[in-house]
């Protein structure tokens, strides 16, 4: 086997084309075996094996610098840059992250997980190179799905301004996570169909040089193309036509399903673990399909992640015009929602907590200044969400809380969530965001009748004295448990409160507590700084009430263990009870 002897790109350069083709097969085999046992991004890597081999054959990393967009297609790159063991041997599978990581290798330049950043980041590397009078190539590798993102399009527009070496490899597999959306894909199709010869060319319209590689999974063709652009003195796009999931039939056939995959049986492609338990995606889908049927102005919006609200291909077909995928373009998703609301529609934008960050200004300016009744369903904003440092869901409370005019709600149960969605779609006054709880979905089976239009009304779910615990969203359950422990261990009959409103203060309830409570504890599923608890502390700042805030320390954490993080942040019910008792 060749792959076992590849310790750096220099070893790739020693092989001839025939050997490189064998290497590609070996790599694909290793990727398949690893994916079947470990899970991970599948399609993006399988389509890029040959291109990455060719890049390392032609360019001299790390002097030549390759920047991967999203970087979920970097597994072959890692295999060729000293990290093959993490793909060949099961005991080493977890030695590497799923994204590029400068802490792992000098061949990685950024920790990246969000899309559409590669061109602008690479432009920065190139600019510094030029300022420092150095040479070498800078290469941005971007998948077509990422091209629709504003930052990528800005980068395409800016690249020629460098007047210097800058190579953009546009990996065109005609897919985003789901199918591509946007007018530029018609142009990519035209370019594929004309072997890159069509005069109308998005890249040329951005003042970039351009070459096309039809056989984007053929190492020889790719080497030829990369050699042609190596040491270019202008920004150039190498448009390569690849097959997403290449080499594994189920992935070639169902590209959306195999973008990322759980461990599976190689022979059948069936997942080894089935999660049949209904979750908040299912609940969203069920509610929205029903609502769409009742009201033709209800429209669900996604920015390239349709299944976050359960909209698989067949459900998208069912929703028809009432479902819009703008592609990876969160800014447009939010502005579109604002426009829909301004003209009498009822938009629901379902989005991961980590990605709503990409539309901060649009939420502020396009939506909230205008007071347009957009509903945001914010998923995985939780310590139980994604645990890669690039996909943390811990920031949304302070982030969204900093935007005036936005009502931010924290449901605890499925029924809370549905009642909030329903209220939000009924009213026309406020932009509303709903923080979908993390972890398992709790369902009581009893519809919630609370009127969420009576803003900032907390609910006392258990009346006690001395101590009050405000348990927000996901962590409400821990508030109940901590109260139980306080009762059992210290004989304290604590009040338990479900605040529901992240964005508001229930001054009446909080003032009322002053009468017979000495300590108020707050629990929130996210960074503490600038969050819900800090607001409560500020409210009580000039009173005698003692306030304890429980939440997560503001820092970037990577591939963390949930139990450890909870413990480190004193977030277990036992720790909470103990800390409260110590204050009394």
164 close to 133: Cβ distance less than 8 angstroms: no
| Of residues 240, 257, 253, the one with CA closest to residue 42 | 257
State which residue, 202 or 308, has the beta carbon closest to its own copies.
202
How far apart, in Å, are the Cα atoms of 27 and each of 34, 49, 192, 220, 246?
Answer: 10, 7, 27, 17, 12
As a dihedral over the C-alpha atoms of residue 309, residue 315, residue 320, residue 325, rounded to 10 degrees, the angle is: 40
Q: Is 571 in the site for its own copies (CB under 8 A)?
A: no
Q: Is 233 in the site for its own copies (CB under 8 A)?
A: no
Q: Is 560 in the site for its own copies (CB under 8 A)?
A: no
Residues in region 185-214 near its own copies by CB under 8 A = 185-187, 199-202, 204-208
User: How crowded is residue 275: how many other Cβ atoms within 10 Å of its Cβ?
Assistant: 8
Q: Is 154 in the site for its own copies (CB under 8 A)?
A: yes
Q: Is 18 in the site for its own copies (CB under 8 A)?
A: no
Helices assigned H by DSSP within 491-572: 507-513, 532-539, 562-568
How far apart, in Å, are the Cα atoms of 500 and each of 36, 152, 220, 253?
Answer: 41, 37, 60, 44
Q: Is 347 in the site for its own copies (CB under 8 A)?
A: yes
- Residue 549 and residue 242: Cα distance in Å, rounded? 51
Binding mask 518-547 for its own copies (x = CB under 8 A): -x-------xxxxx-xxx-xx-xxxx--xx
Q: How far is the CB of 91 from its own copies (least distance, A)?
A: 28
Query: What would the two tokens of residue 17 be?
Result: 């084309």
Active site residue 277: no
Residue 425 Rama label (left phi>0; alpha psi -120 to 50; beta): alpha
117 close to 151: Cβ distance less than 8 angstroms: yes
Q: Is 143 in the site for its own copies (CB under 8 A)?
A: no
Q: How far is the CB of 227 from its own copies (least distance, A)?
A: 24
- Would you give the distance in Å from CA 48 to the centre of its chain? 22
Q: Is 576 in the site for its own copies (CB under 8 A)?
A: no
Q: How far is the CB of 197 from its own copies (least distance, A)?
A: 11
Residues in region 378-437 near its own copies by CB under 8 A = 389-390, 395, 398-399, 401-405
> Residue 330: what are its φ and ψ, rounded to 5°?
-60, -35
State which residue, 7 or 543, has the beta carbon closest to its own copies.
543
Active site residue 330: yes
The SS3 of residue 462 is strand
User: How crowded is residue 562: how many other Cβ atoms within 10 Å of its Cβ?
Assistant: 15
Q: How far is the CB of 555 from its own copies (least distance, A)?
A: 5
Q: Is 555 in the site for its own copies (CB under 8 A)?
A: yes
Q: How far is the CB of 60 from its own copies (least distance, A)?
A: 16
Query: Which one among 21, 221, 232, 370 touches its own copies, defined by CB under 8 A?
Result: 370
Q: What is the DSSP string of 63-84?
A: TSEEEESSSTT-HHHHHHTT-T
323 CB-side CA count, 13 A = 25
Binding mask 254-293 for its own copies (x = CB under 8 A): ----------------------------------------
Provide the β-strand partners of residue 141: 68, 169
State which residue, 243 or 342, has the beta carbon closest to its own copies.
342
Using the rule CB under 8 A, give the single segment among 71-79, 343-351, 462-470, 562-570 that binds its own copies.
Answer: 343-351
Catalytic residue among 84, 255, 346, 358: 358
Query: Which one among 16, 268, 343, 449 touches its own copies, defined by CB under 8 A?
Result: 343
CA 179-183-188 angle, 5° bins: 75
State which residue, 263 or 405, has the beta carbon closest to its own copies.
405
- Residue 111 and residue 21: Cα distance in Å, rounded? 30
Q: Is 65 in the site for its own copies (CB under 8 A)?
A: yes
Using the rule CB under 8 A, give the single segment among 22-30, 239-247, 278-286, 324-332 that binds its own copies.
Answer: 324-332
Query: Which one among 361, 459, 508, 561 touches its own copies, defined by CB under 8 A?
Result: 361
Q: What is the DSSP string of 382-439?
A: STTS--SGGG---SHHHHHHTSTT-EEE---SHHHHHHHHHHHHH-SS--EEEEPPPS
Residue 172, burial from CB neighbour count under 10 angstroms (0-12, 13-18, 19+): buried
The SS3 of residue 300 is strand
Q: How far is the CB of 265 from its own copies (least distance, A)?
A: 35
Q: How far is the CB of 182 from its own copies (least distance, A)?
A: 4
State which residue, 183 or 491, has the beta carbon closest to its own copies.
183
Provide the β-strand partners of residue 210: 237
Binding mask 91-130 for its own copies (x = CB under 8 A): -----------x------xxxxxx--x--xxxxxxxxxxx
Catalytic residue among 330, 415, 477, 524: 330
Query: Which one among 43, 182, 216, 310 touches its own copies, defined by CB under 8 A?
Result: 182
Query: Which one among 233, 321, 454, 515 touches its own copies, defined by CB under 8 A?
Result: 321
Query: Which one among 49, 74, 351, 368 touches its own copies, defined by CB under 8 A?
Result: 368
Catalytic residue among 28, 244, 257, 316: 244
Question: How many residues bind its own copies, per CB under 8 A?
Answer: 121
335 close to 360: Cβ distance less than 8 angstroms: no
Q: Is 324 in the site for its own copies (CB under 8 A)?
A: yes
460 CB-side CA count, 13 A = 15
Using the rule CB under 8 A, give the single segment among 12-20, 30-38, 182-190, 306-314 that binds its own copies.
Answer: 182-190
State which residue, 399 or 448, has the beta carbon closest to its own copies.
399
Binding mask 39-58 for its own copies (x = CB under 8 A): --------------------
Residue 278 Rama label (left phi>0; alpha psi -120 to 50; beta): beta
Q: How far is the CB of 337 from its own copies (least distance, A)?
A: 6
Residues in region 484-523 near its own copies by CB under 8 A = 519
State which residue, 347 or 411, has the beta carbon closest to its own copies.
347
| Of residues 369, 340, 498, 350, the one with CA closest to residue 430 | 369
State which residue, 82 or 124, has the beta carbon closest to its own copies.
124
CA quadruple 312, 316, 319, 325: dihedral positive or negative?
positive
Q: Is 156 in the site for its own copies (CB under 8 A)?
A: yes
Catalytic residues: 244, 330, 358
């Amino acid at each position: 086997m060749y792959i076992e002897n590849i310790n750096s790109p220099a070893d790739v350069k020693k092989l001839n084309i025939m050997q490189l083709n064998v290497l590609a097969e070996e790599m694909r085999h290793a990727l398949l075996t690893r994916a079947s046992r470990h899970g991970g991004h599948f399609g993006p890597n399988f389509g890029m094996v040959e291109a990455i081999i060719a890049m390392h054959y032609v360019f001299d990393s790390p002097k030549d610098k390759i920047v991967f967009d999203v970087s979920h297609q970097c597994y072959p790159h890692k295999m060729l840059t000293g990290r093959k063991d993490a793909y060949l041997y099961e005991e080493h599978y977890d030695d590497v992250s799923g994204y590029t990581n400068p802490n792992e290798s000098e061949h990685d330049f950024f920790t990246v997980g969000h899309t559409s950043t590669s061109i602008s980041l690479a432009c920065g590397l190139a600019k510094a190179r030029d300022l420092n009078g150095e040479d070498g190539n800078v290469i941005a590798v971007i998948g077509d799905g990422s091209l629709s993102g504003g930052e990528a399009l800005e980068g395409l527009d800016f690249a020629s301004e460098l007047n210097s070496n800058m190579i953009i490899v546009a990996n065109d597999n005609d897919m985003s996570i789901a199918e591509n959306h946007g007018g530029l894909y018609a142009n990519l199709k035209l370019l594929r169909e004309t072997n890159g010869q069509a005069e109308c060319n998005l890249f040329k319209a951005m003042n970039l040089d351009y070459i096309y590689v039809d056989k984007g999974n053929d190492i020889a063709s790719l080497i030829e193309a990369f050699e042609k652009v190596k040491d270019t003195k202008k920004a150039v796009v190498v448009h390569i036509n690849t097959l997403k999931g290449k080499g594994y039939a189920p992935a070639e056939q169902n590209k959306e399903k195999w973008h990322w995959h759980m461990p599976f049986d190689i022979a059948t492609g069936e997942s080894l673990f089935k999660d049949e338990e209904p979750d908040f995606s299912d609940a969203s889908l069920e509610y929205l399909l029903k609502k769409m049927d009742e009201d033709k102005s209800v429209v669900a919006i996604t920015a390239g992640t349709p299944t976050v609200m359960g909209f698989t291909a067949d459900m998208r077909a069912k929703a028809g015009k009432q479902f819009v995928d703008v592609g990876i373009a969160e800014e447009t998703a939010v502005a579109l929602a604002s426009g829909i609301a301004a003209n009498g529609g009822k938009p629901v934008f379902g989005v991961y907590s980590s990605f709503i960050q990409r539309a901060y200004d649009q939420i502020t300016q396009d939506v909230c200044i205008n007071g347009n009744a957009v509903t945001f369903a914010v998923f995985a904003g939780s310590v139980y969400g994604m645990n890669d440092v690039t996909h943390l869901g811990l920031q949304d409370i302070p982030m969204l809380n900093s935007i005036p005019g936005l009502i931010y709600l924290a449901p605890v149960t499925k029924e809370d969530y549905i009642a909030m969605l329903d209220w939000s779609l009924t009213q026309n006054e406020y932009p509303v965001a709903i923080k979908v709880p993390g972890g398992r979905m709790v369902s009581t089976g009893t519809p919630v009748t609370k009127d969420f239009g009576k803003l900032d009304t907390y609910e006392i779910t258990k009346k006690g004295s001395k101590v009050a615990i405000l348990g927000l969203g996901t962590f409400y359950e821990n508030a109940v448990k901590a109260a139980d422990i306080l009762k059992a261990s210290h004989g304290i009959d604590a009040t338990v409160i479900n605040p529901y409103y992240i964005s508001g203060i229930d001054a009446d309830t909080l003032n009322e507590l002053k009468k017979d409570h000495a300590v108020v504890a707050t629990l929130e599923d996210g960074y503490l700084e600038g969050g819900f608890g800090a607001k409560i502390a500020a409210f009580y700042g000039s009173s005698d009430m003692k306030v304890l805030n429980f939440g997560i320390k503001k820092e970037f954490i990577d591939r963390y263990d949930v139990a450890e993080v909870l413990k480190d942040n004193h977030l277990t019910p036992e720790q909470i009870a103990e800390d409260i008792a110590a204050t009394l």
